[in-house]
């Protein structure tokens, strides 16, 4: 016990020296990159830090890193990582998704490409448990698997499109290609939505078997038609990636 106390005392004496060495030889050379990284974090996710906005002093950046680590710092994924690690999740934690994170996902999904930039796709996100349960019960006929997925999810995104926008125009092949192109645009938007969610550690599962007419009536989708549903939530466990790809 005496040796342990002595070791603890020596460690306390050596701590300031260790911090100084780390700051001098590791932090200071990395300061420009760290400052740029934290500045980007502040502008993208200002709620992660309670410090003043950039520019950061070296002392302030140390304090900010400490705050970020204590709250679970945001570590941006590369595009390749995001694509490889997006998987269809059907089992979720009983944990709500913050509204601000849902807004971030929708905001990024808005940048999906569309026919002649007509932007026909809309997103209706349901996080009310009662309404979500009604969708699962009334709009998923005979699909117990999908019903369970919706009920387990923290939220349900309904990807819709405005009929008559996509596939229209006077290009030579427009009329031939027009049929079904709105679903093509909705599909691009749905995948963009899922990738944006994955970067925030939100799991998703695209569901295509549902009654679009019933969903339209229940959600009062005037002038819109539901293309697909996306279950959302924090997975019970992340898989390493999707199954084998050909």
Give the tens place of pLDDT for each residue, 21-58.
444 555 555 555 555 555 555 544 444 444 444 455 55
pLDDT of residue 64: 59
CA distance 213 to 223: 12
Span 210-238, pLDDT tens digits = 999 999 999 999 999 999 999 999 998 87
Whether residue 55 is preceded by a cis peptide bond, meaning omega within 30 degrees of 0, is: yes
Span 198-210, pLDDT tens digits = 988 899 999 999 9
pLDDT of residue 145: 83
DSSP letters for the chain = -HHHHHHHHHHHHHHHHHHHHHIIIIIHHHHHHHHHHHHHHHHH-GGG--SPPSSPPHHHHHHHHHHHHHH----PPPHHHHHHH--B---B-S-PPPHHHHHHHHHHHTT---GGG---EEEEEE--HHHHHHHHHHSSTT-HHHHHHHHHSSEEEEEEE-TTSTT-SSSTTHHHHHTTHHHHHHHHHHHHHHHHHHHTT-EEEEE--S-HHHHHHHHT-TT-EEEEEEEEE-BSS--SSSS---
Q: Which residue has the higher pLDDT, 85 or 170?
A: 85
CA distance 105 to 77: 14
Is the pTM for the entire model greater than 0.75?
Answer: no
Span 86-103, pLDDT tens digits = 889 989 999 999 999 999
Q: Which residue has the higher pLDDT, 134 or 72?
A: 134
Span 101-156, pLDDT tens digits = 999 999 999 999 998 888 999 999 999 999 999 999 999 877 778 889 999 999 99
pLDDT range class, residue 16, cuts 50, 70, 90 = low
């Amino acid at each position: 016990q005496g040796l342990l106390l002595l070791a603890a005392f020596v460690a306390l004496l050596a701590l300031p020296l260790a911090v100084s060495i780390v700051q001098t030889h590791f932090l200071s050379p990395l300061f420009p990159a760290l400052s740029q990284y934290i500045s980007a974090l502040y502008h993208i996710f200002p709620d992660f830090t309670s410090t003043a906005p950039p520019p950061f002093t070296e002392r302030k950046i140390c304090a900010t890193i400490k705050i970020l680590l204590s709250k679970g710092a945001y570590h941006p994924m590369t595009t390749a990582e995001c694509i490889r690690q997006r998987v269809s999740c059907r089992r979720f934690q009983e944990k709500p998704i913050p509204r601000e994170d849902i807004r971030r996902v929708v905001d990024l999904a808005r940048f999906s490409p569309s026919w002649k930039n007509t932007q026909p796709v809309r997103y209706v996100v349901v996080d009310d448990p009662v309404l979500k349960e009604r969708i699962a019960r009334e709009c998923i006929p005979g699909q117990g698997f999908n019903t369970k997925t919706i009920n387990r999810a923290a939220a349900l995104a309904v990807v819709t499109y405005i009929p008559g926008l996509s596939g229209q125009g006077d290009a030579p092949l427009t009329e031939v290609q027009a049929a079904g192109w709105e679903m093509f645009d909705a599909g691009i938007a749905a995948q963009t939505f899922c990738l944006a969610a994955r970067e925030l550690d939100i799991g998703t599962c695209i569901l295509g078997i549902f009654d679009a007419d019933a969903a339209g009536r229940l959600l009062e989708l005037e002038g819109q038609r539901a293309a697909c549903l996306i279950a959302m939530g924090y997975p019970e466990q992340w898989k390493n990636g999707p199954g084998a790809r050909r």
